[in-house]
Structure 1
Amino acid sequence: MRSFALIHELLNLVETLEEENDGREVSLQDFTSLLVSRVSGPLGELSRTDPRFGKEEQYAQAMAFQLDNAIGRLFVYMSRYAKSYIKKTLDGTPLQTGEDFTAMAILLTHEHLSKTELISYNLQEKTSGMEVIRRLIAAGLIKQWDNAEDKRGKHIAITDAGRKVLYRVFVEMGHVGKMISGDLSESEKLNLLYLLQRLENFHFEHHQKRTITTKADLASFEKK
């Protein structure tokens, strides 16, 4: 009976999933993601095309379309599309960049933070993070005061003016979110959200622990 063959095939997929996760307890979402990838089939022509590429240097092109490299390349493209949409949305507001917006959104959910905490949460380097903070203070969108427990540090928090600006921008940022997710179906969006959240959990842990600080760290991670 075909149903028994299907059950056997599903059990084999569960076994494969457990092997790929090195014994980590897997979830229904993990299995769903694997099942979607298997039903969709192997990488097809969609993943082997890029209108930016010409016909020369076939070795370089093969490297660009290698699975991990292709994922990285597409992440770069997506981030640049998102940046351009966000820039258009912020036009006419006191906010200049996406980093301004995310810094404000983070501060909105905290009573106050240190500058170092905000820069870390906003995934920025210290220099660029401090520039964002200076710009927002100058615009009256956030405020700072001395940290009573650390004379060298400052507390920062969003101002009432900052809240008003942020809530106004929230509405228009909803249009950016819909544009970024494009023409994906609801189920495709949920699957993408699950995968992106897994990647975020992975990278945020490395970010917090500062495990990747040099290119040698990247190379050593690849060997693990």
Structure 2
Amino acid sequence: MKSYQLIHQLINLVEELEEENQGHEVSIQDFTGFLLNKVGDTRGNGHDSEVRFGDSDNAALDIAYQLDNNIGRLFVFMSRYAKSYIKKALEGTPLQTGEDFTALAILLTHKHLSKSELISHNLQEKTSGTEVIRRLIVAGLVRQWDDVKDKRSKHIAITDEGKELLFQVFEHTNYVGKIITGKLTIAEKFTLQYLLQKLENFHLEHYENKTISNKEDLKKLAEENSVQ
């Protein structure tokens, strides 16, 4: 039985909690609080569940499995899974990347935007964002024109061809969304959505205010947001 070791650990933890409570009967609420406290105090928790890592450097594993580092690593993995699914959904279309798709989708909800606005909304660097816009224009999915007040600025808008393509692609990107959320229950999806939105609000503020431009900024922000 693969779960035997876990069951054994749980039994030991219940016994430990009973000893702390001098043998008094404990509730599931008591055990939940006790377990959360235990997990919070444990470093390197869950090493056995990661198939990618070996066991030749325990110090490195402890660093990787620190709570914040582990969450960050899982975010990276999730983004790579999502990227591969989106690439499949865009096969056979002029859209080459997920950024092409999201840029076009953003334009669908605006009458028009400046290039810099679209690049910012799409969370891209100027160079890569400019290349995305260029591809969309060449494919006839986006049109551009000079800003009347500022000749240095260009405005862009989605074309009818772009709208038609997007609604064709939406069917397959909907499948991507369902796959990304895996087998989570509805309640778990709402919880995840709430937590991700909370993180999005935090990161978007720093992205828009350009508060992180070097290693020192990373260190400063990390220290300011350390959980005591």
* TM-score range relative to shorter protein: 0.7 to 0.9
Pairs within 5 Å for 1:105-124 = 105-124=105-124
Distance 2:157 2:207 in 1: 23
Deviates more, 1:116-125 or 1:47-56: 47-56
Pairs within 5 Å for 1:93-132 = 93-132=93-132
Residue 135 of structure 2 is matched in structure 1 by 135
Unaligned runs of 5+ in 1: 1-36
Question: Which TM-score applies when normalising by structure 2?
Answer: 0.79
The CA deviation string for residues 126-176 of structure 1, in whole angstroms up to 9 with x for no partner, is 110000000000000000000001110100000000000001111111100
The residue type paired with residue 220 of structure 2 is S
The CA deviation string for residues 16-53 of structure 1, in whole angstroms up to 9 with x for no partner, is xxxxxxxxxxxxxxxxxxxxx95984649984321000
Unaligned runs of 5+ in 2: 1-31
The residue type paired with residue 118 of structure 2 is L
The residue type paired with residue 153 of structure 2 is G
Residue 57 of structure 2 is matched in structure 1 by 57
Pairs within 5 Å for 1:65-80 = 65-80=65-80
Residue 169 of structure 1 is matched in structure 2 by 169
* Deviation >2 Å, runs of 4+: 37-49
Residue 19 of structure 2 is matched in structure 1 by none
Residue 5 of structure 1 is matched in structure 2 by none
Deviates more, 1:83-92 or 1:210-219: 210-219
Residue 206 of structure 1 is matched in structure 2 by 206
Larger RCO, structures 1/2 (Cα 8 Å, 6+ apart): 1
The structure with more radius of gyration:
2
Distance 1:167 1:207 in 2: 30
Secondary structure of the residue that 1:155 maps to in structure 2?
strand
Residue 20 of structure 2 is matched in structure 1 by none
Distance 1:52 1:160 in 2: 46
Distance 1:92 1:155 in 2: 28
1:217 aligns with 2:214: no
Distance 1:39 1:189 in 2: 26
Distance 1:122 1:38, change over 3 A: farther
> Contact 2:45–2:65 at 8 Å: present in 1 too?
no
Question: Which TM-score applies when normalising by structure 1?
Answer: 0.80
Q: CA RMSD in A?
A: 1.8
> Contact 2:143–2:159 at 8 Å: present in 1 too?
yes
Distance 1:75 1:40, change over 3 A: farther
Residue 181 of structure 1 is matched in structure 2 by 181
The residue type paired with residue 165 of structure 1 is L
Q: CA deviation at 1:216?
A: 1.2
> Contact 2:112–2:156 at 8 Å: present in 1 too?
yes
Distance 1:89 1:66, change over 3 A: same
Q: Percent of aligned pairs with the same residue?
A: 60
Distance 1:60 1:85, change over 3 A: same
Distance 2:113 2:34 in 1: 46
Distance 2:33 2:146 in 1: 56
Distance 1:109 1:211, change over 3 A: same
